[in-house]
Structure 1
Amino acid sequence: MEQARNEALAERALGELEAQFFFIRGLPDEGELSVKLAQLFERRHADMLLVKYGKHIRALDEQAPATYFSGWLGMLCAAQQYMISRYDAAFDFSPGNLTVNLYQKEGRPVFGFRLHDAKTLSVPAGDRAGWRRQVLTALYGETLRPLLVSLAQAAGLDAGQLWGQIATRMYYVRDMTLAQADSEKLRAKLTEDFQALLSDLTPDVFGRPRHPLDVKFRYVDDPRKPGERLRMKVSCCLAYKTDTDHGYCYTCPRMSGTEREERKLKLLAGAK
């Protein structure tokens, strides 16, 4: 009976991860890359992913695909965070249980995460705080930390820049899930569990001198909505290192005040 309940819960939860966090169950018809996260710890597999993805985004080198892909990994982190708060449960996000797939969807490249064992859930046995710390430590210390080190080495970047992409994405998704929460109880749990991520995990879990997700954001004026503010990115996504006319993002921390004002005028002109 207990096993049947857990399997039903896993099925319902996986459906939500598919709808909101880019999880998939099968190989996409237009998939061109399928690799386990554990394989990306090896340089040749990391290089292969960055080269293949880089062609889609017209990258000038392997650095932009590394930062872009790290943003996608932020969805993986946000998904586990959602599981903890929504269901008091967690899927196994160990490197060997997750495959990432690169495929085309509506004319653009996307990544989908696929669980090999999508039925087994970890659930708290009395000590929810201790269980939560264990789940998050495994995700960040055993899956994300070595993965980002590998990607950073392949791209010639500091891993901190990749952690910044994850942080930017996670705070965005946190705000979205809070806005969509269907009860005050869920909203309170989402807030509490996100705070626990920042306070319960020490920097050494991430292999960084400081907690890479515990950040203080700066804000800039929203050019399209007078009186409103936009959160700046934690680190540069390197969009300017693609063969496009994108340049720096309006919320890029590398942009000077003068450059941002010039970009603001271009955005306003383009909106007319």
Structure 2
Amino acid sequence: MDRPSYEDLLERHFNLSSIDKEHVYKEIKLITFFHADKSQQFLHEYAKQIKAKEPQVPATYFFSMFGLTVSSFLAMLALKKVVVPISLETISAQLYRNETYKINTIALRLHSNDWKVGDGSREWRRQEISLLFTSTVTPLLDCISDQVQIRPRELWGQLLNGLEYGKTIAIQLAETADERQAINDDFHWLTKQASHDLFNSLKNRLDFPLKEIENPSVPGQMQRMKATCCLYYQTEGSKGKCYTCPRMSVKEREIRKKEIVAEVTQ
């Protein structure tokens, strides 16, 4: 197993690092989110970083990013037949100063070398994905949603946004038709067919309806509306809701569409 090259792939494409970032000023292990006082301290610092006006905003931002991490887990199962050791105990979130771009930002850090090789079968991949959700993803999401008083549905939608972005990356990394098929099959299974037991719910919490709107930058081309709102409009300096926001009214979207078209055609 070529672990160094796998770690490099995760850092370059999925923002998951196996070494500490420089200039880290706040860090928390995922398991520590279950301690409300320490969780609130970290989320408060993250809220200041993204200039959030409400305590729910850092939660939506975090789970969009965490969705990318989860997608890396699925990608490595399909592409390399390896299990990335992602768990509540092995992942931390680091707030740090990026001196190159002179900004404060966030990254996830992997603290384990316990990678495992599998047979690559569909059954094996689904078993590993199920274990990741029941032991890590779902408990973490339920915990944070309760702490910041936001509906779990809102965070599942953000996780889905990150997952879908990561899927496009995984497809680009695939070298064979079989690898691309495995990625498509696993993402479809997870978001449409996986048991509700994975989500501590009566339904598959990632099964959001597909709603499309016209891409204002490419006339005639459709793009997916986000599953839930990221709450960007609740940050300082925002220009309002995103064009793909499900909370945007038809009238608001038409106004925003005209603004985007004007910007593109300048």
TM-score of the superposed pair, with normalisation by structure 2 = 0.92
Q: Deviations over 1:107-138 (max 9, x none)?
A: 344332222222x222335x833322331122
1:203 is aligned to: 196
Note the C-alpha offset of 1:245: 3.0
The count of residues paired between Structure 1 and Structure 2 equals 263
Deviation at 1:32, TM superposition (A): 1.5
SS of 1:247's equivalent? Answer: coil
The 8 Å contact of residues 192 and 204 in structure 2, kept in 1 or not, is answered as no
Q: Per-residue displacement from partner, 1:170-221 (whole Å, max 9, x unpaired)?
A: 1122123324433222212211222332466311211123212233321111
Amino acid across the alignment from 1:116: H
Q: Which amino acid in the other structure matches residue 84 of structure 1?
A: L
- 1:270 is aligned with what amino acid? E
SS at match of 1:255: coil
The residue that corresponds to 1:114 in the other structure is 109
Matched, 1:232 2:225: yes
**Over aligned residues, Cα RMSD in angstroms?**
1.8
Is residue 60–residue 230 contact of structure 2 (8 Å, CA) maintained in 1? yes
Mapped to 2, the partners of 1:104 and 1:249 lie a distance apart of 27
Distance 1:45 1:249 in 2: 31
Residues in 1 aligned to 2:227 and 2:78: alpha-carbon distance in whole angstroms: 25
Give the match for residue 3 of structure 1.
none
1:76-95 pair list within 5 angstroms? 76-95=69-88
| Structure 2 gap segments, 5+ residues each | none
- Distance in 1, matches of 2:16 and 2:168, equals 20
1:148 aligned to 2:148?
no
Structure 1 stretches of 5 or more lacking a match? 1-5
Identity %: 29
Counterpart-to-counterpart distance in 1, 2:104 and 2:199: 28
- Per the alignment, residue 262 of structure 2 pairs with 269
5 Å-filtered alignment, 1:29-178, equals 29-105=22-98, 106-118=101-113, 120-124=114-118, 128-178=121-171
Alpha-carbon separation, structure 2, partners of 1:37 and 1:237: 21
**Counterpart contact for 2:13–2:169, Cα < 8 Å:** no
